[in-house]
Structure 1
Amino acid sequence: MSDRYVMEALLRPAVELNTAVAAGCAAFVCVSAPWAVALAPSVSYVTAGAFVALAAVRTRQGLKILRYRRNLKRLSRYVMTSRQVPVSRYRLFLGKGFSWEQKHLQRLLETRRPEVQAFLQPSVAYRLARKTERWSEYRLPWLSRVLRTDARFNPVRPLPPAGGNPAIHGVEPDETDVSMDLGERVGHMLVLGTTRVGKTRLAELL
């Protein structure tokens, strides 16, 4: 798996799933027809268990790749009301985020390589949905409204207006709650961001 090495390779096909499928098929053969692989029935179940474990590990690794690629194009929805904002006498809640490290810069630079653009571009179905949405705005308003619906049942819903470069938001799939000590509010803070990314909302929190 790519996380064993200093240089990551997350923006690529999820080849781990190929191994998972092969291991799953091997486990099925060991259980249903142990004679086909010259195994005694008592040994075939142990071998099948090992193949199942391998399939589970490789599936987990492959899903990590798919999740990373999905996050570069569409972030998970994160909204909360003012009543849901955590309140503390010692910490100020800022939202979800992550600490920017060298690996995030490496991932961001990787997204600019020409050979990986196929993983970053919207799918054919998404582009067709946007084209149909524009065409049906006045001809078939109900269809345009359905295609614009921001819900889980709509796989081609519009991308959220994150602003700027979406890859900056998606290079870390595992975001955590971010907060700051209330005593640090007296210091200076520089907040960078393009239009409509939440700078004013952050100022309201501070």
Structure 2
Amino acid sequence: MAQSHAIEVLLRPAVELHTVAVCAAAAFLSLVAPWSLALSPAIGLGSAVAFLAFGTIRLRDALVILRYRRNIRRLPRYVMTSRDVPVSQQRLFIGRGFRWEQRHTHRLTQTFRPEFRRYVEPTSAYLLARRLEERLEFAPFPLSKLARLTAWDVPINPLHPLPPVGGLPRLHGIEPNEVDVSLPLAERVGHSLVLGATRVGKTRLAELFVTQDIRRRNAAGEHEVVIVFDPKGDADLLKRMYVEAKRAGREHEFYVFHLGWPDFSARYNAVGRFGRISEVATRIAGQLSGGGNSAAFREFAWRFVNIIARALV
């Protein structure tokens, strides 16, 4: 049975369905032909109720096994639009997940054992469908449409491909009962490190955080300042930030700084404001090297700029 024990085996045939079938047949006979079981009609009715109750319990256990086996091979679809992202004043929404415990380590270890391979790896029909899609891509017209049928991403298609999100379904599938995971905003004063291979969702996680930060308001009802450094230059992240800023009514506060696109980039005057006139020459000459023979050129530049700044002021 699918119960919570210290040692459990969920990658197995759902043998509970045999008990469910026997209970359903016994309940049917108890109602329709109680004489076949040497029962009176009144006792047959009570027996049918007992058989149905026990069959329901066993059916629930069988569904746990079937659901676990399904999630190990293919995760259920989880889609959230930008409007549905929860924005809290106390917590930061991260996504769906669970607390990792010893039983999850045991379940994950079982998925790599040879005897459980047929429950984890894709089925032969799934692999055949992917192989046909590759071969029929350049086939003539009637056959080329067949590849679209197997790749049709709808729930009624049992052979539709996995979503292009990367990762291993078994990492989430070992816990069918996932919950919303959030982080207290007070904990964000510390550093957070997100590790992962290419195309596993690191930038999309950053989009989720930035979306909440742009739309969040403080206790005074004012929006917070959000600064994003993106050395990779992801275009989707830039579009997401602009869309969220416009949705929150902050498009007039949206600035982009990119040296490669001066037409769209915001500009900063490094010498527009200063306390002393000599600061102008220091900021400009500070970009030159001051070591070795370069020191003389740096001093010349500083004096030249300082004279021009004094004359302008």
Shorter-chain TM-score: what band?
Answer: over 0.9
Q: Does 1:132 align with 2:132?
A: yes
Q: What residue is the counterpart of 2:108 in the other structure? A: 108
Q: What residue is the counterpart of 1:40 in the other structure? A: 40
Q: What residue is the counterpart of 1:70 in the other structure? A: 70
Q: What residue is the counterpart of 2:196 in the other structure? A: 193
Whose Rg is larger?
2
Residues 2, 64 of structure 2: 8 Å contact kept: no
Q: Distance in 1 between matches of 2:87 and 2:11?
A: 38
Secondary structure at the aligned position of 1:146 is classed as: helix
| Deviation readout 1:144-180 (Å, 9 max, x if unpaired) | 1222121112110001234233311211111111111
Q: Distance in 1 between matches of 2:42 and 2:157?
A: 48
Specify the code of the residue in structure 2 equivalent to 1:116. Answer: F
Q: What residue is the counterpart of 1:170 in the other structure? A: 173
Q: Distance in 2 between matches of 1:112 and 1:162?
A: 21
Secondary structure at the aligned position of 2:200 is classed as: coil
**Which stretches of structure 1, 4 residues or more, deviate above 4 A after TM superposition?**
none
Q: Does 1:182 align with 2:167?
A: no
Q: Distance in 1 between matches of 2:68 and 2:14?
A: 10
Specify the code of the residue in structure 1 equivalent to 2:97. Answer: G
Q: What residue is the counterpart of 2:161 in the other structure? A: 158
Q: Distance in 2 between matches of 1:154 and 1:86?
A: 32
Identity percentage of aligned residues: 55
Specify the code of the residue in structure 1 equivalent to 2:18. Answer: N
Specify the code of the residue in structure 2 equivalent to 1:172. Answer: E
RMSD: 1.4
Specify the code of the residue in structure 1 equivalent to 2:205. Answer: L
Specify the code of the residue in structure 1 equivalent to 2:164. Answer: P
TM-score by length of 2: 0.63
TM-score by length of 1: 0.94
Residues 74, 160 of structure 1: 8 Å contact kept: no
Displacement of 1:43: 0.2
Q: What residue is the counterpart of 2:12 in the other structure? A: 12
Q: Mean alpha-carbon deviation: is it higher for 187-196 or for 100-109?
A: 187-196
Q: Distance in 2 between matches of 1:4 and 1:86?
A: 33
Q: What residue is the counterpart of 1:86 in the other structure? A: 86
Q: Distance in 1 between matches of 2:4 and 2:80?
A: 36
